């Protein structure tokens, strides 16, 4: 199972990951030419990955896709599930009760602009390829790596 690894030593705080996340989830992927500036023009982005920053420390936080996911166990609707190691959200079922916000130890689930919750789904729900935050990170502070072990 490939995982997103965050290494704060290499993070520049450039926030490209936030913009790439918003772009990947903007519905513009698949259209040509790929133009982030056009897709995000006049939009206040609401990304699923967020930079924490203080003084000279910065790092990106997104869903860790926990093996014992408190959000999935606590979800009152059954909207959150763990499928092939990726924690997915069914936006049809979500009622925005915020129980996932109550339990996520990383603070990695937040309301979307559509009135239900959103979270990182490793870009499997949009491009099906490599997560865009990883692809666009200029300093390899976010990597998508196979670490072995857990395959479920």
Partner 1 sequence: MKYVIIGNSAAAIGCIEGIRSVDSQGSITVISKETQHTYSRPLISYLLLGKTDSERMKYRSDNFYEENNCTVMFGTEVTKISPDKKEVLLDNGKSVKYDKLLVATGSNPFVPPIEGVSTAKSVHTFMSLDDALALEKDLTPDSRVIILGGGLIGLKCAEGILKSVKKITVIDMADRILPSILDSEGSSIIQKHLESKGIEFLLGNSISKVDGQRAILKSGDIIEFDSLVIAVGVRANTALVAEAGGTVNRGIYTDLSCKTSLHDIYSAGDCSESYDITIGQPRVLALLPNAYMQGEVAGVNMAGGDMLYDHAIPMNAIGFFGLHVISAGSYEGECYTVAEGNNYKKLFYNDNNLFGYILIGEVARAGIYTALIREKTPLDSIDFELIKDKPQLMAFTKKDRAALLIKEALPDNWQ
One residue of 34, 35, 102, 113 binding partner 1 per CB under 8 A? 102
Q: Total binding residues for partner 1 by CB under 8 A?
A: 43
Short-list 71, 78, 75, 73, CA closest to 103: 71
One residue of 37, 44, 83, 147 binding partner 1 per CB under 8 A? 147
**Beta bridge partners of residue 51, listed in sequence order:** 60
Residue 148 CA to residue 85 CA, distance in Å, equals 13
> At a CB cut-off of 8 Å and minimum separation 6, what does 14 contact?
138
Site string for partner 1, 64-83 (x = CB under 8 A): xxxx--x--xx-xxx-----
Q: Kindly list the residues in this chain that would bind partner 1 in the complex (CB under 8 A).
A: 3-6, 8, 52-54, 57, 59, 61, 64-67, 70, 73-74, 76-78, 92-93, 95-107, 109-110, 145, 147-150
């Amino acid at each position: 199972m490939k995982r997103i690894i965050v290494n704060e030593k290499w993070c520049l705080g450039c926030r490209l990951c936030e913009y790439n996340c918003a772009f990947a989830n903007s519905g513009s992927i698949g259209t040509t030419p790929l133009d982030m500036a056009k897709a995000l023009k006049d939009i206040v982005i609401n990304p699923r990955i967020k930079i924490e920053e203080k003084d000279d420390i910065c790092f990106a936080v997104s869903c860790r896709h926990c093996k014992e996911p408190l959000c999935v166990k606590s979800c009152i609707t059954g909207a959150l599930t763990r499928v092939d190691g990726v924690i997915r959200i069914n936006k049809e079922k979500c009622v925005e009760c915020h129980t996932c916000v109550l339990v996520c130890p990383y603070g990695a689930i937040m309301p979307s602009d559509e009135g239900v919750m959103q979270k990182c789904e490793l870009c499997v729900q949009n491009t099906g390829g490599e997560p865009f935050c990883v692809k666009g990170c200029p300093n390899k502070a976010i990597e998508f790596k196979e670490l072995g072990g857990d395959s479920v």
